[in-house]
């Protein structure tokens, strides 16, 4: 009992007494953030401070979208409050936030009630107010729509303050044990003269550096940026007529490329960069067309696969004497693979071919365990015979097939639940084809005979909760981190 109370007091930034005193009991009853933090904080004499989750965005310009608004507030006022919440962090760094109303974004925001498809149901008024995912898990933020959200009022729950806290998680900050910090796990009420604690500032700057230039404040629902947004080149006839691709991959610099036949395109947040397509052979000299798969490993080198051969590049320069045989450099991996990616869940390399997949780990011998290959149906909802796969810069894993794509939730290990549902047309959502439909009629998607589309039965073990056999600490056990 005493140990559990001590851990809670350390977690909440309280005086550590080991006793269930009044301050401790009152803190237990406070509304709280729903992001799980590790139970068992240090209780020694170390300095209290912010905590970093370990992931961060690799770009400074981040987009967000409010997909579902709260029931009790004007939409335009919500736009303003959430823009202000992002600006709290932009004021201390060179981060820039841009609101979009459609298309792909880094951070999706929704107001939901109860169970809402992510395995973390809300609990009604009070209790858990909201939760957000760290960058490696996609950065999305969900707010409990059962709460009485308010603006500039002591009544209800202040939307701006809670949103600023949740967006801290979306940017990579864990909870702080400094109870005056915005990133403390408990909501302590409306503060009309709100400002970040020095602990919050040090935390966000540890992730993204100090501010080097001034950024204009957000005006209403549009956040003004200091640099021009990427300019799309307009619809590309080749990709918009047939959005299937050979492979997609992220470079070591964080740029996403799509390969198809002898051409490649550079992707932006809006669609395709101007000046594309270009010839693969002109930019990656020595690399053939019709690539099967590609990925960039954590050593910063990009690997391309075709037939029985593979090539390795540093940037766009071939790194040595290539091509080489897949059987030599990737022992245990078959020829003619369909797709490959480095999965963010564990940093291992995964290859897909037909109805099977292989996991490759160069740090172990042999690099492919005898238990592989395994059925792709283990990746619940992902079809066989893929065209491409990658982990995008927003932390999500994406799979592509015949012009459609699936967004995979690494937490639930299944295709994400969203509206429109997945699979979605890649032309509209990835390549800026405005004339394409945005949703998917799954009955019209071409499939292979006997193809797996629903996924197989599987057991997902979730090790999110530490069971504490003390009823009074139930709330503490549900204070969360990812």
Q: Please, what is the angle between helix 159-170 and helix 75-90, to 10°?
A: 50
Q: Are 208 and 55 within 8 A, CB to CB?
A: no
Kind of pairing between the strands at 388-391 and 293-296: unpaired
Binding site membership: which residues? 33, 116, 118, 123-124, 131, 138, 140, 142, 144-145, 147, 165, 169, 175, 183, 246, 292, 294, 340, 387
- Distance, in Å, from the CA atom of 125 to the CA atom of 438, rounded to the nearest integer, reads 35
- Distance, in Å, from the CA atom of 414 to the CA atom of 377, rounded to the nearest integer, reads 10
Binding site membership for Zn(2+): which residues? 33, 116, 118, 131, 142, 165, 169, 175, 183
Which tokens belong to 182?
């915005």
Q: Are 385 and 338 within 8 A, CB to CB?
A: yes
Q: Are 235 and 268 within 8 A, CB to CB?
A: no
Nearest to 323 by CA among 308, 337, 335, 338: 308
Q: What are phi and psi of 218, to 5 degrees?
A: -70, 135
Which tokens belong to 85?
């919440």
Which tokens belong to 439?
């949703």
DSSP string, 421-466: PSSEEHHHHHS--TTS-SS--GGGS---TT---S------------
Alpha helices in 339-382 (DSSP H): none
DSSP string, 101-132: SSS--SEEEEEE-S--SSS----SSSSEEEEE
Alpha helices in 32-95 (DSSP H): 75-90
Which tokens belong to 353?
């071919």
> Which residues is 340 bridged to in the sheet?
351
Question: Phi/psi zone of residue 329: left (φ > 0), alpha (ψ -120 to 50 degrees), beta?
Answer: alpha
Number of alpha carbons in the 13 Å side-chain half-sphere of residue 343: 21
- Distance, in Å, from the CA atom of 14 to the CA atom of 177, rounded to the nearest integer, reads 8
Q: Are 358 and 332 within 8 A, CB to CB?
A: yes
The question of whether 380 is a catalytic residue gets the answer no
**Catalytic residue chosen out of the listed positions 61, 112, 166, 269:** 166
- Distance, in Å, from the CA atom of 421 to the CA atom of 440, rounded to the nearest integer, reads 7
- Distance, in Å, from the CA atom of 401 to the CA atom of 443, rounded to the nearest integer, reads 15
Q: Are 250 and 391 within 8 A, CB to CB?
A: yes
What is the end-to-end Cα distance of the chain in Å, rounded?
A: 26
Q: What are phi and psi of 335, to 5 degrees?
A: -75, 165
Burial of 465 (0-12, 13-18, 19+ CB in 10 A): exposed
Give the active site residues.
Answer: 166
């Amino acid at each position: 009992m005493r140990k559990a109370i001590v851990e809670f007091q350390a977690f909440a930034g309280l005086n550590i007494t080991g006793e269930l005193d009044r301050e401790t009991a009152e803190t237990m009853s406070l509304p709280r953030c729903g992001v799980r933090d590790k139970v068992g904080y240090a209780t020694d004499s170390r300095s209290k401070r912010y905590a970093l989750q370990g992931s961060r965005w690799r770009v400074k310009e981040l987009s967000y979208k409010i997909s579902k608004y709260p029931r009790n507030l004007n939409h335009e006022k919500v736009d303003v409050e959430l823009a202000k919440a992002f600006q709290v962090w932009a004021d201390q760094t060179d981060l820039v936030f841009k609101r979009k109303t459609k298309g792909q974004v880094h951070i999706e925001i929704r107001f939901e009630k109860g169970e809402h498809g992510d395995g973390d149901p809300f609990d009604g008024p009070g209790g858990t107010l909201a939760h957000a995912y760290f960058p490696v898990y996609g950065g999305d933020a969900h707010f409990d729509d059962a709460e009485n959200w308010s603006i500039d009022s002591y009544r209800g729950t202040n939307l701006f303050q809670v949103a600023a806290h949740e967006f801290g998680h979306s940017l990579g900050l864990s909870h702080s044990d400094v109870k005056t910090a915005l990133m403390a796990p408990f909501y302590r009420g409306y503060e009309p003269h709100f400002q970040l604690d020095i602990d919050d500032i040090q935390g966000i700057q540890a992730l993204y550096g100090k501010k080097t230039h001034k950024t204009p404040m957000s005006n209403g629902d549009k956040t003004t940026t200091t640099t021009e947004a990427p300019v799309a080149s307009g619809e590309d006839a080749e990709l918009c007529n047939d959005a299937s691709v050979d492979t997609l991959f992220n470079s070591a610099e964080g740029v996403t490329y799509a390969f198809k036949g002898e051409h490649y395109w550079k992707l932006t947040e809006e669609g395709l960069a101007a000046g594309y397509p270009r010839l693969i052979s002109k930019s990656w000299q020595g690399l053939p067309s019709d690539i099967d798969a590609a990925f960039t490993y954590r050593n910063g080198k990009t690997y391309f696969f075709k037939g029985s051969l593979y090539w390795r590049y540093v940037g766009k320069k071939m790194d040595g004497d290539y091509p080489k045989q897949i059987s030599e450099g990737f022992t245990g991996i078959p020829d003619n693979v369909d797709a490959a990616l480095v999965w963010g869940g564990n940093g291992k390399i995964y290859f897909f071919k037909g109805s099977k997949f292989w996991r490759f780990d160069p740090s172990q011998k042999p690099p492919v365990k005898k238990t592989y290959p395994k059925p792709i149906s283990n990746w619940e909802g992902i079809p066989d015979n893929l065209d491409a796969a990658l982990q995008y810069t927003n932390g999500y894993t994406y799979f592509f097939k015949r012009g459609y794509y699936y967004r995979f939730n690494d937490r639930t290990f299944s295709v994400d639940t969203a509206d429109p549902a997945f699979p979605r047309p890649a032309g509209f959502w990835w390549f800026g084809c405005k004339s394409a439909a945005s949703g998917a009629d799954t009955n019209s998607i071409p499939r292979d005979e006997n193809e797996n589309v629903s996924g197989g039965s599987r057991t997902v073990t979730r090790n999110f909760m530490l069971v504490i056999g003390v009823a009074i600490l139930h709330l503490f056990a549900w204070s969360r981190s990812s």
